[in-house]
Amino acid sequence: MEIGLLFSIFLVASNFIYGVHSTVFTIKNNCRYGIAPATLTGTGDLVSTGFELAPEASNTINMPVPWSGRVWARFGCSNDGGHFHCNSGDCGSGHVGCNGAGGAPPATLVEFTLGQKDFYDVSLVDGFNLPVSVVPQGGGAGCPTTDCPVDINARCPSELAVKDASGGTIGCKSACLQFNKPEYCCTADHSTPETCPPTNYSSFFKNLCPKAYSYAYDDKSSTFTCGNGADYLITFCP
């Protein structure tokens, strides 16, 4: 048989066996103000690294599989003299696209590993900037929603609050980010799950958002899985 044909048959067969597909992320802005969602790729092909969304607007991204990385959103953005900057979650690129840069904490992170099975979580390990929900679409049973739907900024302890020029709270740092101590960051002699229990600060976040990671060794209940084939609706200010 001709080698090209053989190879095509192999590709079709392997796509069938390994279930190669793309996963669609729909990112929606339910906030009363404009936001600029962004992605940071860990492994896998690059995807759109940032775009703006007016209130009620949404955008879809075709995600490659396998892929791992994070999604977050910036707000308080302006484009002064061609330099794009956001008061919260800024990635420092100077452009709407973050081009491989992460967001400045505190920012609520949605973390994904897409593959044969998908893993996803909402992380407040570096703090919070916007409420978010992650709702799998399809994928069968056992694809739970995860979220941090509460505006933690409104309740943030003053020692963790990040304020804008007019004094409004635009982010809430984790204790690790603010105090950089081993008992909050799970480092040094607190570097194992056994030696890094929750603290009153991580409990503050956990009580408001029980499904989200509140610190590095938060319990396993914060990571969720979904079978191959699901798409995801990610809503900011759900």
**Is residue 215 part of the contact set for ligand NAG (CB under 6 A)?**
no
**Is residue 157 part of the contact set for ligand NAG (CB under 6 A)?**
yes
Shortest Cβ 191–ligand NAG spacing (Å): 21
**Cβ proximity to ligand NAG, 71 vs 161, nearer residue:** 161
Specify whether the CB–CB gap between 114 and 23 falls below 8 A. yes
Of 123, 105, 104, 103, which is closest to residue 113 (Cα–Cα)?
A: 123
**Is residue 201 part of the contact set for ligand NAG (CB under 6 A)?**
yes
d(CA 5, CA 72): 43
Shortest Cβ 143–ligand NAG spacing (Å): 33
**Residue partners of 42: CB distance under 8 A and separation at least 6:** 68, 69, 70
**Is residue 205 part of the contact set for ligand NAG (CB under 6 A)?**
no
Question: How remote is the C-alpha of 135 from its chain's centroid?
Answer: 13
Residue, CB closest to ligand NAG: 200
Shortest Cβ 172–ligand NAG spacing (Å): 11
The site for ligand NAG, by CB under 6 A, has a size of: 4
**Is residue 200 part of the contact set for ligand NAG (CB under 6 A)?**
yes
Shortest Cβ 201–ligand NAG spacing (Å): 5
Which listed range, 71-79, 117-125, 197-205, 229-237, lies at the site for ligand NAG (CB under 6 A)?
197-205
Shortest Cβ 204–ligand NAG spacing (Å): 4
Shortest Cβ 176–ligand NAG spacing (Å): 14
Contacts with ligand NAG, residue ranges (CB under 6 A) = 157, 200-201, 204
